């Protein structure tokens, strides 16, 4: 613990590229996964509990154990250890019957997307996700392709990585879940996260973080990658409103300002 404290003290003064500064974030040690959207931040810890950040304090979101949680325009969604899907409604997680997912993302323009253990991709239309409030069976639309991780933005589209660590991008129509063809993007990654403003970050197999450059309405898939220096291996990132939230391999949370 002394070593971790020393590392965090050093991080308070660590400058990274593109004018970013990383510092110690609010801790719920050890963290496993983190997600940010619309000014909200959620996370899961090594005990598979979900937490919501208020100010500088993490608050447990009930006793349901979840391995992945996501926040965005569609609300807060999560998946448990048995791949059951839940939405956070009125202070508790409500079972959303209809599809079993290993990972879910609520960061799109109202739609919810996710992937299964067999890498099939599924999308819940924004018109359905926005009104879901009870334990009814949801009709997910199966998208073409195979991915092991997927993330969507309200701007430009969705990104994903497959089991070969290849990176892909597509545009999505939120109300229908219709997509354009998946575009293969250069580089390799095990996780990809896109912010509501369209910013894209990936983590590769050795825990390095890269940001996609050149993203705009004419080239939504961007043009190149820039490495974001980190003091240690990274397992997860999420970006929202100028903040890059980072979970290191040892479960420490960093907050990098951009």
Question: Is residue 15 one of the residues assigned to a domain?
Answer: no
| CATH number for the domain harbouring residue 246 | 2.130.10.30
How many structural domains is the chain composed of?
1
Domain that holds residue 242: 28-257
- pTM, whole model, 2 decimals? 0.92
Q: What is the pLDDT of residue 135?
A: 57
Is the pLDDT score of 15 beyond 70? no
**pLDDT tier, 12 (very low <50, low <70, confident <90, very high otherwise):** very low
Question: Is residue 14 one of the residues assigned to a domain?
Answer: no
| 177-218 per-position pLDDT tens digit | 999 999 999 999 999 999 989 999 999 999 999 999 999 999
| 47-98 per-position pLDDT tens digit | 999 999 999 999 999 999 999 999 999 999 999 999 999 999 989 999 999 9
- Is residue 70 within 8 Å of residue 76, measured between CB atoms? yes
Question: Is residue 1 one of the residues assigned to a domain?
Answer: no
Question: Is residue 123 one of the residues assigned to a domain?
Answer: yes
Tokens of 61: 């979101």
Question: Is residue 88 one of the residues assigned to a domain?
Answer: yes
**pLDDT tier, 20 (very low <50, low <70, confident <90, very high otherwise):** confident
* Torsion from C-alpha of 13, 206, 58, 28, nearest 10 degrees: -90
**Report for 19-33, 69-83, 124-138: range of highest mean pLDDT:** 69-83
Question: Is residue 169 one of the residues assigned to a domain?
Answer: yes
Question: Is residue 23 one of the residues assigned to a domain?
Answer: no
- Is residue 133 within 8 Å of residue 89, measured between CB atoms? yes
């Amino acid at each position: 613990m002394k070593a971790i404290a020393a590392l965090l003290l050093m991080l308070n003064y660590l400058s990274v590229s593109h004018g970013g500064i990383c510092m110690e974030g609010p801790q719920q040690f050890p963290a496993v996964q983190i997600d940010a959207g619309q000014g909200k931040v959620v996370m899961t810890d090594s005990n598979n509990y979900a937490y919501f950040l208020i100010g500088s304090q993490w608050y447990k979101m009930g006793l349901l154990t979840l391995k992945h949680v996501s926040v965005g325009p569609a609300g807060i969604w999560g998946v448990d250890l048995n791949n059951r899907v839940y939405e956070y409604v009125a202070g508790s997680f409500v079972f959303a019957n209809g599809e079993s997912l290993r990972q879910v993302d609520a960061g799109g323009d109202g739609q919810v997307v996710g992937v299964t253990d067999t890498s099939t991709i599924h999308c819940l239309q924004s018109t359905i996700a926005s009104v879901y409030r009870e334990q009814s069976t949801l009709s997910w639309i199966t998208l073409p392709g195979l991915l092991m991780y997927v993330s969507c933005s309200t701007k430009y589209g969705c990104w994903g990585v497959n089991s070969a660590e290849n990176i892909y991008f597509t545009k999505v129509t939120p109300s229908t879940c219709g997509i354009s063809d998946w575009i293969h993007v250069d580089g390799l990654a095990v996780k990809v996260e896109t912010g509501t403003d369209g910013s894209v970050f990936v983590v590769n197999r050795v825990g390095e973080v890269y940001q996609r450059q050149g993203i705009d309405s004419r080239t939504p898939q961007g043009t190149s990658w820039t490495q974001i220096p980190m003091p240690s291996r990274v397992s997860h990132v999420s970006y929202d409103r100028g903040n890059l939230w980072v979970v290191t391999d040892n479960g420490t949370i960093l907050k990098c300002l951009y």
